[in-house]
């Protein structure tokens, strides 16, 4: 899948796909030094919110815990010899997510394994060739809460509304790990060049993060035709100038740019669980069927603040898909509150599976590592099944909020 995307993008920049689209959806877009196929995003003032029927609110604040049960069930339809399945499990223990427990049942042999330094938990299942109807089902309980950085906390005078923040610095070895390059997140070449250009004039870490967040929002765009959540091949995206993608592409660009200028950053791969309390349909999950609700977010580490939430990809999603027309103004009343709040925050209607890149699945027969683990994975004697086709795979994910 990744090689197909690379080939498509490299062909597109030579006048193939992009050239064919230049008279339709691509027409009227600005040509910028950063990318030749980037939608013209304007910061010009839109109509005042009070005058617009589109006026919206999106303002997550740090909240009480919400508890969810999340169930993933896999039923293998195409049995060809020995079958193996890997299900991502919530693995995070953070100030904004607590993973409580996992319970599973299956007619195969199952075990929970940890992958990579981040300790991403995976339910690994193996089914004998004689098993005609392999299945595995796992239910995880998690607690989540909203996040929102109070940017004035560190500068507000004491006694004038300043909030006391408990801050424990991250270990230097951990910070070094989250500035490393990976196969899909290089930090040299065009990635570093782009980040340096984007951060010209920025001096502090917070100024650099703000500059990179704004660069990603203004230069990338949501491409609904991309399969799944994308693949995060940021080098190819930057080289071809085609910065269209989905969350695992757009937020990977942000993470890669941050790392290339020495800012520790990481993708957080997860799943939307329930509707947004702010009624944004594109920022919601349908708990009855979450098989296509995977969503990648990101974090960057800032001195005296710790890990800070970021999600430029969801800004792009709201701009492209929240309304019937593609919004290209950041000050549009539908976009503006999302653009503001996702710099430093996110809504707790989502769980994080893990923060792991370049995943080698325990016991796999495939040679190549996965860019990330956000979907159920299975393989049989003929190879790996298509995780982007849950009805054929077959798998279903659902959630239930536990109230009271």
Which residues fall within 8 angstroms of residue 48, CB to CB, at 6 or more apart? Answer: none
Which residues fall within 8 angstroms of residue 239, CB to CB, at 6 or more apart? Answer: 10, 13, 190
Collapsing DSSP states into helix, strand and coil, what is residue 350? strand
Asked if omega into 394 is within 30° of 0 (cis), the reply is yes
Collapsing DSSP states into helix, strand and coil, what is residue 308? strand
Contact 84, 126 (CB under 8 A): yes
Please give the domain boundaries of the chain with CATH numbers for all domains: 2-9+33-61+148-154+167-284+296-352 (3.10.620), 66-145+355-402 (2.60.40.2250)
Least confident span in 149-153, 216-220, 291-295: 149-153
Q: What is the mean pLDDT of residues 24-53?
A: 42
Q: What's the pLDDT score for residue 153? A: 61
- Report the candidate in 389, 397, 220, 388 with the shortest Cα–Cα distance to residue 317: 220
Q: What's the pLDDT score for residue 1? A: 46
Q: What's the pLDDT score for residue 43? A: 55
Least confident span in 110-119, 199-208, 228-237, 372-381: 110-119
Place of tokens 């709201």: 318
Q: Tokens representing 399?
A: 């959630």
Tens digits of per-residue pLDDT, 323-352?
Answer: 999 999 999 999 999 999 999 999 999 999
């Amino acid at each position: 899948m990744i090689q197909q995307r690379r080939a498509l993008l490299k062909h597109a920049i030579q006048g193939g796909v992009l050239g064919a689209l230049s008279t339709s959806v691509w027409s009227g877009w600005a040509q910028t030094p950063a990318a030749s196929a980037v939608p013209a995003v304007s910061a010009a003032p839109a109509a005042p919110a009070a005058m617009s029927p589109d006026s919206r609110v999106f303002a997550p604040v740090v909240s009480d815990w919400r508890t969810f049960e999340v169930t993933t069930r896999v039923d293998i339809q195409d049995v060809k010899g020995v079958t193996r399945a890997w299900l991502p499990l919530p693995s995070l223990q953070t100030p904004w997510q607590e993973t409580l427990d996992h319970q599973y049942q299956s007619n195969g042999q199952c075990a929970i394994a940890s992958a990579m330094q981040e300790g991403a938990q995976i339910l690994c299942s193996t089914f004998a060739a004689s098993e005609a109807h392999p299945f595995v089902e796992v239910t995880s309980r998690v607690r989540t809460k909203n996040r929102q950085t109070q940017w004035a906390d560190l500068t507000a005078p004491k006694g004038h509304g300043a909030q006391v923040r408990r801050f424990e610095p991250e270990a230097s070895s951990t910070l070094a790990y989250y500035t490393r390059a990976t196969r899909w997140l290089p930090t040299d070449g065009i990635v570093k060049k782009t980040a340096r250009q984007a951060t010209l004039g920025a001096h502090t870490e917070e100024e650099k993060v703000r500059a990179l967040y704004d660069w990603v929002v203004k230069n990338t765009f949501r491409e609904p035709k991309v399969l799944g959540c994308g693949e995060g091949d940021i080098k190819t995206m930057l080289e071809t100038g085609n910065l269209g993608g989905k969350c695992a592409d757009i937020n990977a660009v942000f993470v890669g740019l941050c790392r290339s200028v020495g800012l520790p950053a990481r993708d957080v791969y997860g799943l939307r669980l329930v509707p947004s309390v702010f009624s944004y349909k594109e920022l919601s999950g349908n708990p009855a069927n979450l098989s296509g609700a995977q969503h990648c977010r990101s974090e960057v580490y800032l001195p005296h603040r710790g890990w800070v939430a970021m999600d430029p990809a969801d800004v792009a999603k709201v701009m492209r898909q929240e309304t019937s027309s593609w919004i290209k103004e950041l000050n549009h009343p539908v976009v503006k509150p999302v653009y503001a709040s996702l710099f430093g925050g996110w809504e707790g209607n989502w769980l994080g599976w893990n923060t792991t890149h370049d995943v080698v699945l325990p016991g796999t027969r495939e040679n190549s590592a996965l860019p990330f683990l956000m979907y159920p994975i299975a393989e049989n004697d003929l190879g790996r099944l298509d995780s982007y086709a849950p009805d054929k795979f077959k798998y279903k994910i659902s959630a239930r909020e536990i109230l009271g």
